[in-house]
Amino acid sequence: MRDKPSLRRHYQQLRRTNQAVHEVICGAALQFVRRTTAETSVVGLYWPLANEVDLRPLRTQLRNPMALPQADGNGCLHYKRWTGQDLEKDGCGIPAPTNGSNLRADEISLLLVPALAVDSSGIRLGYGGGYYDRLRSDPLWANVPAWVVLPSNCVHPSALPRDSWDVPFDGWITEKGPGQVLRPSAS
């Protein structure tokens, strides 16, 4: 099983963990944000789809300003502040803020992103739309610390298929806590 469609089906099944595991992962994400991000820094979350870890409770548990992505349905993704306003379905049918301007990369200190799987080099397997990849291919956005959130059984034991546009993430957060990508040292 080396092709992305097969891997997506496999990890969609594995990701169906019980709610208690998701709550532990959310708690690990809460502790991670508290430990790594100033309270005034904007944190980019996501609106959970089926079987994704729900990080929405962080909005009330942290003092940080929050942002949610807004997809246009044609491959572009932007973040907008999530201040409690009513949300509307974006171009992909996912609830997102519609008011306010798009945030720039230098206005966000941390991105927490869902994933079907991630490997030890930080390559993320998503649903295949490429929204996060296109966003993070911009060098300014590639510099924003970005971590995937998923159950530990979705950390792939070997290299996932990688396309030329894939930008490695900095690490992952599971029910076991954060796991950081090991980058080769320069000699």
Residues 133-144: pLDDT tens digits?
999 999 999 999
In the chain, domain spans: 4-67+110-171
Q: Which residues of 4-20 are buried (b: 16+ CB within 10 A; e: fewer)?
A: eeebbebbeeebebeee
Four-way CATH pick for 4-67+110-171: 3.20.20.150, 3.30.540.10, 3.20.20.70, 3.40.50.10420: 3.40.50.10420
Residues 74-121: pLDDT tens digits?
999 999 999 987 899 999 999 999 888 999 999 999 999 999 999 999
pLDDT of residue 128: 86
Q: Which of 125, 129, 109, 107 is nearest to 168 (CA)?
A: 125
Structure confidence at residue 160 as a pLDDT band (50, 70, 90): very high
